[in-house]
Structure 1
Amino acid sequence: MGEKRINISSGVKWEDIVGYSRAVRIGNYIEVSGTTAFDGEILIGKGDLYAQTSFILRKIEKTLTEFGSSMSDVVRTRMYLTDISMWQEAGKAHSEFFSDIRPDTSMVEVRRLIDPELLIEIEVTAIVS
């Protein structure tokens, strides 16, 4: 028999509309869904990639904490930017959380995200040690 699956919901309407969870844990493996800089209906860091990235990573950190995990368990990050020429701003915020942890990462440019004011979306994978 496999490990128990635990889903965490953020309570946003999109989870029911799209059919997804904020994060899923199976055993010691955690996947956090694409995370944006919305706090409810309010965009944090409008026009500021560094501020959006920092807010998102704090939001992810809170989600991991709900699973009894932490940023030190993160083994992979995926960053989707709408303008890759601004990568240094996202990289600076990412480094502030992960300079000692050093997870695998991807940083790619996408044409757009679900809201035109979003500059970045981030996903993470964590393995609880």
Structure 2
Amino acid sequence: MSPKEEINYGTTYNQAFKYSQAIKKGQIITISGQVGWDKEGKLVGRGDFRAQAEQAIQNIKACVEAAGGTLDDVVDLLSFLPDMRYVEELVEVVGKQFKEPYPSHTAVGVTALAEPGLLLEMRAIAVLG
């Protein structure tokens, strides 16, 4: 049985909140919810859904690459949106960032996210190989 390995792409804010950006066990990588924060924890694109979605996917990409994979290894996405009117824009961004066959993807409406100003949170699962 392979050990559980913490994956971090250079952020420090996860230490304050007591979680791992990602965990790799065997060939499976589970990636914590990613938002429109840069490596320093600063919000990218306040009020700009597309900018936040692109940043969240770049953060997912950074996690997968730190574990030795690529975005092609992502098999599942779960998105949380406090405003479901952004679903169409989310589909556009995902369609530009991922190739066919696309990951499975579920979008869930929520009442709030971790910080005011966040418009999206995305978690992901990747399988290497």
The residue that corresponds to 1:69 in the other structure is: 69
The residue that corresponds to 1:7 in the other structure is: 6
Letter in 1 for 2:23: V
Counterpart CA distance in 1 for 2:127 and 2:52 is 25
Counterpart CA distance in 1 for 2:89 and 2:5 is 34
Counterpart CA distance in 2 for 1:7 and 1:88 is 33
Unaligned runs of 5+ in 2: none
Tell me, yes or no, if the aligned pair for 2:6 and 2:20 is still in contact at 8 Å. yes
Letter in 2 for 1:64: V
The residue that corresponds to 1:35 in the other structure is: 34
The residue that corresponds to 2:121 in the other structure is: 121
Letter in 1 for 2:127: I
Tell me, yes or no, if the aligned pair for 1:6 and 1:26 is still in contact at 8 Å. yes
Tell me, yes or no, if the aligned pair for 1:50 and 1:92 is still in contact at 8 Å. no
Q: 2:115 aligns to what SS in structure 1?
A: coil
The residue that corresponds to 1:89 in the other structure is: 89
Q: How much has 1:63 moved relative to structure 2?
A: 1.3
Letter in 2 for 1:5: K
Q: How many residues align?
A: 127
Which TM-score applies when normalising by structure 1?
Answer: 0.91
The residue that corresponds to 2:55 in the other structure is: 55
Tell me, yes or no, if the aligned pair for 2:81 and 2:107 is still in contact at 8 Å. yes
Q: Alignment RMSD, CA only?
A: 1.4
Unaligned runs of 5+ in 1: none
**Residues 33-88 of structure 1 deviation map (CA, whole Å, 9 limit, x = unaligned):** 00111112421011111111011101111111111111111110001011001211
Q: Which moved more, 1:54-63 or 1:114-123?
A: 54-63
Which TM-score applies when normalising by structure 2?
Answer: 0.91
**Residues 2-57 of structure 1 deviation map (CA, whole Å, 9 limit, x = unaligned):** 112210234434x3344210100000000010011111242101111111101110
